[in-house]
Amino acid sequence: MGKAVVLVVSAVVLVACVATVGVVTVSNRKAADSSKPQMAELSTSQKNIQQFCRPTDYQQTCETTLSSVAGDKTDPKDLVGLVFNITIDHIKQAFDHSSTIQETAKDPRTSEALENCRELLDYAIGDLRTSVDRLDDFSMEKIDKFIDDLKVWISATITYQETCLDGFEGADTDAAASMSKALNRSAELTSNVLAIVTSFGDTLDKFELGDLNRKLLAVDAESFPSWVSGGKRMLLQKSPAQLKPDVTVAQDGSGDVKTIADALLRVPQNSAKIVVIYIKQGVYKEKLDIGRSYTNLMMVGDGPTKTKITGGLNFIDGVATFKTATVAVVGDGFIAKDLWIENSAGAAKHQAVALRVQSDKSVFYNVRLDGYQDTLYVHTHRQFYRECTITGTIDFIFGDSASIFQNCLILARKPMDNQQNIVTAQGRKDRRSTGGIILHNCTISADPEYYPLRNKLPTFLGRPWKEYSRTFVMQSQLDDLINPKGWLPWLGDFGLNTCFYTEIDNRGPGADKSQRVTWRGVKNVDLGHAQKFTVERFIQGKTWLPQTGVPFTAGLLPPSGSTN
């Protein structure tokens, strides 16, 4: 299909999607004339608002907010932008409310929860503003990528608001209820924005424009497209010396600095090109917060048994889960290679995160992540893990990003005597959210210390942390530690009908599905459906992974022939 045809079809799609919006001007409904019926017929503009809000779950909220501020705006793009800005304003109000409550906070946990809320709501506002800015750069030629990006950022905004409320565990209940009330309207508005954008994307799919754009960017599995230069293509294949790092960290004084924190001070912020920090062999006892302004940062070590970053913050000692991470990464385009990241708190300290990731289009290659409960917090956005080792006990891969783990080793460790292991706890709050944990061609096995106890203290594939929890285990090796039931409830019947859990073409003794739980949310899908949850489709990996040089499989592997 030629470029001109693409533009014509795209224009038709845009008209089809926004024609129902029309001129959104609100009539002044007065009943001054008693001779007229009290309930006058809806004006055309009001009908258009109703049509515009129809895809949403909170239609009354959508209609009320639009009707109150739409004025005489007629341009469809302006109206979409207006919906975003209304949502931003309500999140700002919740942000300000958290500051007001902070003044009367009764205990340290409540004070920390409110402080974390402000940080999280700032992230939410940032992602929505990015979305609004992208509306100004709207291009019909790149509409498929445009919609994919919007859905990822809006989904993250929903997650940030939910994480704010999650942080009140163990805090003052009055403060928690007050913040929940303050976030109620903004949560509904954000859900509505996602519904409107998703509806637009669904219309595009009917025209099959998405497949067209993907074909233009197609590469074969385990290969790189010709438009990626040889130097950049091999970025992750080079040794640290060949990479010519911008900053070298060495505890023995042979580098530029002795700590990773000092290296970050030398890194240019908001960089458009990749900036490399090389961390030489050693044990670095540091807490790293790689903020939003550290974009396109790459950290390379001497290997996942040699360069270790370790910390021990944990929930039992009074730190909120969100802040226990030894390494927290927010800046987009982050790349890590040949590192070992650990939270050493131990099983008795409960929630203790080794790595928390919010970085969009981030890559982790040959990285070891060690912890017990909540080892890896895949918080938001798009993430790719290749040939990594992740260890833990309870919910040790959790969060609501769109994450794919490929060719990774996932090791269950010995839990406490009154515990059982759960590999994943996916946290999708909204049914349209882009979040999901995808394990593809991975191995789930037992750590040697845990192996003799695997029948007494069982391991499950996952449990539904949030209502629309979504986890796929595909074409992976499942060893005999997996309990025959496969999946574990969270609490009662919460999420059992609305989650989306599936196992596809797996192998090994733990892959036998004959005794699996029979919740409505545990589904059998075919390989065709599973293709939607591959690197190419689920995280749009062909458009950005080749630039990093990480090897990846774009789609599914050839079927194994297994009946599991």
**CB neighbour list of residue 99: distance below 8 Å, 6 or more residues apart:** 114, 118
502 to each of 131, 365, 483, 525, how far by Cα in Å? 32, 26, 15, 7
Has 395 been annotated as catalytic?
yes
Structure tokens at 235: 């970025």
Please say whether the beta carbons of 98 and 149 come within 8 A: no
Question: Of the residues 395, 400, 430, 479, which is catalytic?
Answer: 395
Helix H segments across 308-425?
none
Burial of residue 261 (number of CB atoms within 10 Å: 0-12, 13-18, 19+): middle
Residue by residue, DSSP assigns 91-122 as HHHHHHHHHHHHTT--SHHHHHHHHHHHHHHH
CA gap 248, 277 in Å, rounded: 6
Question: Residue 38 has what DSSP assignment?
Answer: S
Sign for the CA dihedral angle at 89, 90, 94, 97 comes to positive
Instruction: Name the residue among 196, 152, 203 with its Cα closest to residue 59.
Output: 196
In whole angstroms, give the CA distance from residue 469 to residue 447. 26
Nearest to 339 by CA among 257, 396, 411, 281: 281
Distance CA 292, CA 113 (A): 20
Angle between helices 3-18 and 209-216 (to 10 degrees): 140
212, with CB counted inside 10 A (0-12, 13-18, 19+), is middle
Read off φ and ψ for residue 420, nearest 5 degrees. -135, 155
Separation between Cα atoms, residue 51 and residue 45, nearest integer Å: 10
Q: Which two tokens stand for residue 42?
A: 């809806």
Contacts of 179 (CB under 8 A, 6+ apart): 94, 97, 98, 101, 114, 117, 164, 165, 168
**DSSP state at residue 509:** G
Token duo for residue 182:
């303050």
Query: Cα separation of 375 and 397, whole Å?
Result: 6
* Token duo for residue 119: 């940080």
The tokens describing 501, both together, are 């859990």
Cβ atoms of 127 and 156 within 8 Å: the answer is yes
Task: Tell me 343's DSSP state.
Answer: E
3-state secondary structure of 9: helix
- Give the residue numbers marked as catalytic: 395
